[in-house]
């Protein structure tokens, strides 16, 4: 696949937010107003671009997204709100579209005012840079401490037409050293109604980014934007149709792939681990247990040490707030059983095997908590020295 989506152009330039000549200004533009939806951080402290984007996306339409990295425009008061507004106006003028159809996103340091004039001066260059093949430049322009760009794409059949779904994200953990944090942009040429897109995005987010943690610190800027141009084919995907389910599948696939890339790039992380919980009374119970295990510092340092420390896993499950019977609990690392029906069964041999599994870059820990039908998972990474180094030594 090509990183192209019908009806969209992308750009990425250096706009003077970051030092040197690193790309720090990105733009996605739809040829015509696209059906659009967004999900935004649940943090009460929200960056200026988050507030403005959420308000504008209520219309269900959007034609351009302008993104800067290197500065979160968060905790910047009225001046920050005015800056976010001004950038969308300047971009709208250059693009000759209504400013109500332009939304901003920012990521970087909290509490520093945006260099608004520098960015405004770079906007003509940015518009000049737009091209159908520009997704990779855009993907680079939104990065902060990421090890590299994060792109995921898939295809989905709508009628006889193959539509594309292209996702681009940044983020090296739910937190960053004074950075903020995860942004994801999805474009598709599939035809989707506004209300449908909004619902499907919520469902897909729940199954992807809301099942991923690096350290539990929700940022002030987390946002996902989806724009669907409908340029591939006519008609409209309905929510409860075969095409709707396929589109939800494609959107979830792309967002989950991006979420996994974010966790795998978690600061200092060496392992990407899927915590799967089954046998709970409800799916919500299973996800709650998986989330608690995935977020436990104790478990995450054991993952770092490749230590099949089932006691920490069981203890984390125990404090999840979900009721379950320890006598029916089992733990498996990869394919190695180490705790079964409430009883430790780890031998020196299985301990070695489990530890070997834990040396892999990606593996699964399965936890059974009973005989219910509730099933859920969470993606997490290990907590190592590098995480502490990055986060303790960032400014001082």
Binding residues vs its own copies (CB under 8 A):
42-46, 74-77, 109-112, 175, 177-178, 180, 215-220, 296-298, 301-302, 304-307, 309-312, 314-320, 322-324, 326-327, 339, 342-344, 355, 382-385, 387-389, 391-396
CA distance 208 to 259: 6
Of 99 and 221, CB closest to its own copies: 221
CA distance 142 to 162: 28
Catalytic-labelled residue, pool 107, 154, 181, 196: 181
Q: Min. distance of Cβ 100 from its own copies in angstroms?
A: 25
Q: Which two tokens stand for residue 118?
A: 């520098």
Of 90 and 292, CB closest to its own copies: 292
Q: Min. distance of Cβ 352 from its own copies in angstroms?
A: 10
Q: Min. distance of Cβ 143 from its own copies in angstroms?
A: 19
Name which of 43, 102, 117, 104 is nearest 72 in CA terms.
104
Whether 380 is a known active-site residue: answer no
SS3 66: strand
Name which of 13, 48, 47, 7 is nearest 27 in CA terms.
13
Q: Min. distance of Cβ 94 from its own copies in angstroms?
A: 31
Phi (first) and psi of residue 161, to 5 degrees: -100, 140
For 65-92, letters b (16+ CB in 10 Å) and e give: bbbbbbbbbbebeeebbebbebbbebbb
Q: Which two tokens stand for residue 246?
A: 């396929």
Of 60 and 318, CB closest to its own copies: 318
Distances (CA, A) of 108 to 68, 142, 254: 8, 9, 24
Q: Which two tokens stand for residue 296?
A: 């436990």
Of 210 and 301, CB closest to its own copies: 301
Of 21 and 393, CB closest to its own copies: 393
Q: Min. distance of Cβ 18 from its own copies in angstroms?
A: 18
Active site residues: 181
């Amino acid at each position: 696949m090509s990183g192209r989506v019908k009806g969209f152009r992308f750009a990425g330039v250096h706009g003077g937010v970051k030092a040197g000549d690193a790309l720090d200004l990105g733009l996605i533009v739809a040829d015509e107003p696209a059906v659009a939806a967004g999900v935004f951080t649940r943090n009460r402290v929200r960056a200026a671009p988050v507030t403005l984007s959420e308000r504008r996306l209520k219309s269900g339409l959007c034609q351009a997204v302008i993104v800067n990295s290197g500065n979160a425009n968060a905790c910047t008061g009225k001046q920050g709100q005015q800056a976010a507004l001004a950038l969308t106006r300047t971009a709208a003028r250059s693009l000759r579209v209504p400013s109500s159809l332009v939304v901003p996103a920012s990521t970087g340091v909290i509490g520093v005012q945006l260099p608004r004039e520098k960015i405004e001066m770079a906007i003509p260059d940015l518009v000049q840079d737009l091209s159908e093949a520009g997704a990779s430049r855009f993907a680079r322009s939104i990065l902060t401490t990421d090890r590299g760009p994060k792109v995921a794409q898939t295809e989905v059949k709508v009628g006889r037409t193959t539509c594309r779904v292209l996702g681009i994200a940044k983020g090296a953990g739910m937190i960053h050293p004074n950075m903020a944090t995860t942004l994801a942009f999805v474009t598709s040429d599939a035809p989707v109604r506004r209300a449908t897109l909004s619902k499907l995005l919520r469902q897909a987010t729940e199954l992807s980014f809301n099942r991923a943690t690096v350290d539990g610190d929700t940022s002030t800027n987390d946002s996902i934007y989806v724009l669907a141009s409908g340029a591939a084919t006519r008609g409209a995907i309905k929510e409860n149709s075969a095409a709707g389910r396929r589109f939800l599948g494609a959107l979830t696939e792309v967002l989950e792939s991006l979420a996994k890339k974010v966790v795998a790039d978690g600061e200092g992380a060496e392992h990407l681990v899927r915590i799967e919980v089954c046998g709970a009374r409800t799916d919500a119970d299973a996800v709650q247990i998986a989330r608690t295990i995935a977020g436990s510092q104790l478990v995450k340092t054991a993952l770092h040490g490749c230590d099949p420390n089932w006691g920490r896993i069981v203890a984390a499950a125990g404090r999840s707030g979900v009721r379950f019977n320890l006598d029916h609990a089992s733990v498996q690392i990869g394919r190695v059983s180490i705790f079964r029906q409430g009883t430790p069964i780890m031998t020196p041999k299985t301990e070695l095997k489990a530890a070997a599994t834990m040396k892999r870059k990606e593996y699964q820990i399965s936890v059974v908590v009973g005989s219910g039908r509730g099933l859920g998972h969470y993606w997490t990474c290990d907590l190592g020295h590098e995480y502490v180094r990055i986060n303790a030594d960032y400014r001082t």
